[in-house]
Amino acid sequence: MKLASVELYVGGSGGGGILGYLRRIPRLVRTIVTRIRELKVRARDVGDRRLRYGVTVPPAPADYHLQTGTTDDRPAAHPLESAAGGPEDLERLELLYGGEPPVLADTVDKCAEMLLEKEKLRRPKIIRIAGRGIIGKTSIARRFYQHPSVNLGGPYEHTQIIVTTRYDGPIKEEVFQTETFRVSKVDFTLPWFFQQRALALYRFEPTTLLPVLEECYPHVFALHMFLHLLYVNPYRSTTQMGNLSKALAEHKNNTSRTMLMLCYNELPIKYKTCLQYLSIFPQGHIIRRTRLIRRWLAQGLVTVRSGDQSKASSSLVLDDHAEHVFDALVTRGFLRPEKTSDTGKVKTCTMHHKVHDFIATDVSFMDACLPPDLVYRLSINSGIALEKAPSPSDGPFDIILSLLDSLPRSDQWQLVKVLDLEGCRGLTKKHLKNVCKMLLLKYLSLRDTDATQLPKQINKLHCLETLDIRQTEIRAFTTNSVFLPMLKHLLAGIKVSNNNTPTSSKNSHVFHETLVTVKLPNSTRKMNSLEILSHVDASNSIDELVDIGQLLQLRKLGVIIDGKKAGSLATLFQQIEKLHRCLRSLSIRVNQPTSEPVIKAEQMAVLASPPKLLQSLKIRGIGLPIWINELDQLTEITLSETYLGEDAIRILGKLRILSCLRLRCESYTGTKLTFNTEEFQHLKSLIIEGGDITNINFVNIGAAPKLRTIIWSFTSIDTISLSGIDHLCKLKKVEINGQSNIVAVRKAIEAHPNRPVFLHSLSCQRQEAGTEIADSAS
């Protein structure tokens, strides 16, 4: 326990001076004795559980020295370090998660032809993909579903059902028209597929790969983990590969677990600890990146060597190191990407059940006295126990609410550092007041709860580092002066759709929304540890904005201001100028009456020191800042209600490393969006929303040459045009959401040599990857 925490715990009562110290001694002795007694009971309980269920921590293979990385506290290789995140490394990364074997594409085309031939028969159809063993039936079915000829926007009038089965015999009842497509190893050769990927990843003697691949086949999980091993270290020696093959051969009955153990042994010790922490989450649980990283930090699981702290503030170094650990666990195969932002950053992940079972064998993080669905909401080894056993009739939140009720009667609650109440319903003022008695609390999430206000006792949480009140009705703090001296992350805001907002385009109203959030606290300037302040409402008073300029550790800022108040935007930009050495992400929303014109660039302040380290910019209700062309680190930009002309698009096209462009409702005044040669040289994702744009044109080769994803959403447009996509040699996915004639678009996609995935939905929907209030670093 840190010194500051001890002082907070000890100094809270008993008075000062020698007399106060003497008064506290008996209480401290009792507390220490109680803790030792509880630790003995817990140790005995863990031992009994291991004996009862035969649980043992799997030993590392002693005969084979396969640790190519270190097992000390030094960081493992960064997932993108080998090529500094360059094109070569991105191609290697695709070998882990993207792409497909050519034979799979051919098989999918054959299935589509089969469907076309039988379309004239007016009966529901079943396409049965049959074959014995692990030969890729599910991959074929998934890719078939995404094929441009058979997706939801296709010309088919009747129901099609795709099933996979090992049984390829006749079906007795012909209720449906059934076509069987039999897949064999000739059609879809799994070993060949993984062999090609392994050869592309490995940089040493290719012949040493084959024995390992043969030992892994047909276990897909083991094959995937082997690819991750090669990605992390593509220069493994012949001896190492031989030892790997030998270890797998000696454990043929447990190939997947053996490969998993070998991968696990290569992790540095601190990385193993962070991975083991994930055992507290239920199996199959979707884990958000930022939620996990902040909890690692609150639990003290991420540390750095003392020499590293001289490079920057210790907090920033820790944050970067935690991000590094997360990325390493993803690229090493222990975490599976679930949702990726438009810029390619993994936002959510899951664990394969084999990984979860493996790390769960070490029960050191598990509270034996709590149900599994409650463990992940609390600190590890909290020592908290239920006062009564859960009843089958209990509601989904009854257990956690009863625990909060029992807080005053338990000394253990005072030691809790993490409390994650996300999604809980039934929270009362009493519950929240009890929470404020957890004096060592570092991480508190009330996200998506029915809490409507925070009690004034919140000021007692002097150790609190993360306060998450997003997606709640909390609009202001009960006390005018909130002071949380160690607060680093204040996360607030909820997006409310506003379909009744009058707009210049009848096709854009669906995409209009209002962000409602908490008022900017009066004592913000005193909380100088703040790194994330997103989002806060500073529309009441211009003077409130001045506090923001005092937060010299601030990396992310999201703020709402009132466009009717003269000088508010100029004052905000003055504060942003003071933060030019630290700010990485900026979101500005100007509440502007619909009758008022948008604030143009020439009306904005010229900054002598613009925030040149800015990587993400989101603006609504104002034009492009004059200084945007100086932001050479900007990788993503989101615009809405900016009413830009073509000259602004030309400015954006010159941004050096811009990889993601989102043009939301009423961001652009034209109907045709043109990408010229030599513009948007690093753009990878293009997201368009609203019905103002009807034509997107990539003029020639050299226009957005790295574009991989196009997502276009609207309610209804007679005909849309997407021309020049044959020039996009990196295109992987096109998604159209909305009602329109898309025949020409479909033909252009089908003719593309990359065979990009094409998705079409007749209903429009917002694309929130990476930009929603619940996102990214927020």
Cα–Cα distance, 615 to 613 (Å, whole number): 6
Query: In this predicted structure, what is the pLDDT of residue 168?
Result: 59
pLDDT at residue 529 greater than cutoff 50 = yes
pLDDT at residue 99 greater than cutoff 70 = no
Q: Closest Cα to residue 153, out of 750, 674, 673, 687? A: 750
Query: In this predicted structure, what is the pLDDT of residue 206?
Result: 84
pLDDT at residue 135 greater than cutoff 80 = no
Cβ burial of 698 (10 Å; 0-12, 13-18, 19+) is buried
| pLDDT 10s digits, 66-97 | 444 444 444 344 333 333 355 666 777 778 87
Q: Hey, what are 233's tokens?
A: 């270290």
- Greater model confidence, 178 or 258: 258
pTM for the full predicted model:
0.79
Cα–Cα distance, 636 to 750 (Å, whole number): 29
Confidence band for 199, pLDDT divided at 50, 70 and 90: confident
- Greater model confidence, 305 or 551: 551
How many angstroms from the chain centroid is the CA of residue 570? 34
Cα–Cα distance, 246 to 225 (Å, whole number): 17
pLDDT at residue 553 greater than cutoff 80 = yes
Q: Are 190 and 218 in contact (CB under 8 A)?
A: yes
Query: In this predicted structure, what is the pLDDT of residue 120?
Result: 52
- Greater model confidence, 641 or 363: 641
Q: Closest Cα to residue 160, out of 171, 168, 152? A: 152
pLDDT at residue 61 greater than cutoff 50 = no
Query: In this predicted structure, what is the pLDDT of residue 638?
Result: 97
Q: Are 695 and 671 in contact (CB under 8 A)?
A: yes
Task: Report the b/e string of 391-413 with b at 16+ CB within 10 A.
Answer: eeeeeebebbbebbebbeeeebb
Highest mean pLDDT among 67-76, 147-156, 279-288, 678-687: 678-687
Confidence band for 193, pLDDT divided at 50, 70 and 90: confident
Confidence band for 195, pLDDT divided at 50, 70 and 90: confident
Mean pLDDT in residue range 535-555: 89
Query: In this predicted structure, what is the pLDDT of residue 736?
Result: 94
Confidence band for 768, pLDDT divided at 50, 70 and 90: very low
Residues 6 or more apart from 7 whose CB is under 8 A from it? none
Q: Are 92 and 200 in contact (CB under 8 A)?
A: yes
| pLDDT 10s digits, 7-43 | 344 444 555 566 666 666 667 766 776 667 666 655 6
**CA distance to 106, 132, 381, 398, per residue, from 143 (Å):** 11, 19, 44, 43
Assign residue 714 a region (left: φ > 0; alpha: ψ between -120 and 50; beta: otherwise): beta
Confidence band for 63, pLDDT divided at 50, 70 and 90: very low
Query: In this predicted structure, what is the pLDDT of residue 59?
Result: 46
Average pLDDT, the chain: 78
Q: Are 561 and 568 in contact (CB under 8 A)?
A: yes
| pLDDT 10s digits, 446-464 | 999 999 999 999 999 999 9
Cα–Cα distance, 350 to 239 (Å, whole number): 33
pLDDT at residue 367 greater than cutoff 80 = no
| pLDDT 10s digits, 388-430 | 555 555 667 888 888 888 877 777 777 889 999 999 999 999 9
Q: Are 240 and 66 in contact (CB under 8 A)?
A: yes
Highest mean pLDDT among 298-312, 471-485, 639-653: 639-653
User: Within 13 Å, how many C-alpha atoms sit on residue 147's CB side?
Assistant: 23
